[in-house]
Structure 1
Amino acid sequence: MKFFYTTLIISFIGLLPLPAQNIDSLFITSEGRISTDSVYKYKRLIKEIEGFGYSVKDFDTKGKLYLRCYFMAHKRYKYDILDFVNLKKSHPKKTIKLNAAITTYPNDTTSKKSFYDDGVLIKEKVVYSTYYASGILKTKRVYENGIKVEDNIFPEDLESGPTFFIVDKMPEYPGGEEGFVSDIQAALVYPKEAIKKKIQGIVYVEFVVNTKGELVEPKIKQSVHPLIDNEALRIVKTTKKWIPGKSYGRLAKVRYSVPVVFKLPSSH
């Protein structure tokens, strides 16, 4: 449920009902205090998003985006600019009444998701990421309420990485699952010898969809008889190229197991 809840919030932000409107700007020091336009570390723009909450963006002295944050506020919340001075503090009950805050730091490759109950912080998830010069994800560390729950190091060569059974974004076949089944059925040629010997059943074929979307390493996972096993392998190899899967935003190899059904007509 927690993954669905997080995804729901992120998706909702991407579909905000109305454009945000500027309501305030602040000049902030590196210590998180209010400053002037002559001496400051970041310029903070605060926008109100009707029916949602507030958007906050920090820009450095060169105008480059440093931080982007969204706050989902209760309807009863009354705007106070002081609530947006120190964003790294957990907002106590006496200030902004938040449901959730989603923060990203583009320059530091850090993101933070905070969840509140009537303004009181109940859960916080922070993700630290680093990247190779090629832009491919190198490391990812995840903390929940200050406790490390994930620490991953990824090779730059995608094909040398691990093979997964489940990833964030699974590989997609042209036409989806129905398209795959349709192509299998269209290509299937029931071996005459198997018909003669009344051989039927379900053959399970295992394979890997690599980072190029190619179907590789096909093999029989559950056999029925060599006559139909070989046909199952043959038709799986003839299928189209897939859209590769992704894990943590990286292309990933994913292992599949699919059933190929051989069923004789009742007359046999």
Structure 2
Amino acid sequence: MTTQTVHDGRPGVRVDNVSKSFGANGSRVTVLDGVSLSIGMGEFVSVIGPSGCGKSTLLKVIAGLVEADEGSVTIDGTSVRSAADGKLIGLVPQSPALLPWRTVLDNVRLPLTVNRKANAGRAVRDPEELLASFGLGAAIHKYPGQLSGGMQQRAAIARAFVFDPSILVMDEPFSALDEMNRDQQRLGLLEFWNSNRKAVLFVTHSVPEAIMLSDRIIVMAAHPGRIAEVIDVGLPRPRTAETYDTAEFRDLERDVRAALHGVMEKAHV
């Protein structure tokens, strides 16, 4: 049996005409220029594009780490600030950022120990159960230095789920892994996401990764950063390693690479 994207009718992420520049007056560089997009609850959307197209800046604006110069962002119908205060946003950075002197379990528990008064009454998930669901049940008392890179990243993803966020933003979380390990982590993330169906914005440089994970792929162009094309991924779910070998996957890979080639050509005209 195959399944497609499930939406629960809630607004998810909405980005309206967002622009962002950096630098001093007279030498400012526009990194994002009038970007608009939406991600429904239960939808997995990847962003791909050349270096300098604003992928990570867009993620940081959505996560509330950077404020847009123009435009607006809403998360589940509320402002980014309110969503962040309500722990509605889960962030997974490129580096796992685990504290080496804390065990895996204590690292995942860390968000619960920060500002306990503000966190009182919030819905939380059991850290041990989360780690077990990511295949780390036997590693909870180990330290980050005792884990492989893939295991460390899984722990970081588990930590992002502690407050059971509505939205998950992921900034190339598997980029430091070798291809075999990276593919294993993709499939593990897919399995976990399929049972939770969060709205996900996933930044990546990998075309196969974007196709395997996503419902839609946003192709961005650079100088300034803007959306060049949105590609629907119609592959049925759940997806497995065999999905890579299908004609449909290869067709999508050709289409995404053609779109990327197009934005690169225009950037050098």
| TM-score w.r.t. length of structure 2 | 0.25
> Which has the larger strand fraction?
1
Structure with larger RCO (C-alpha < 8 A, sep 6+)? 2
> Which has the larger helix fraction?
2
Bigger Rg, structure 1 or 2: 1
| TM-score w.r.t. length of structure 1 | 0.25
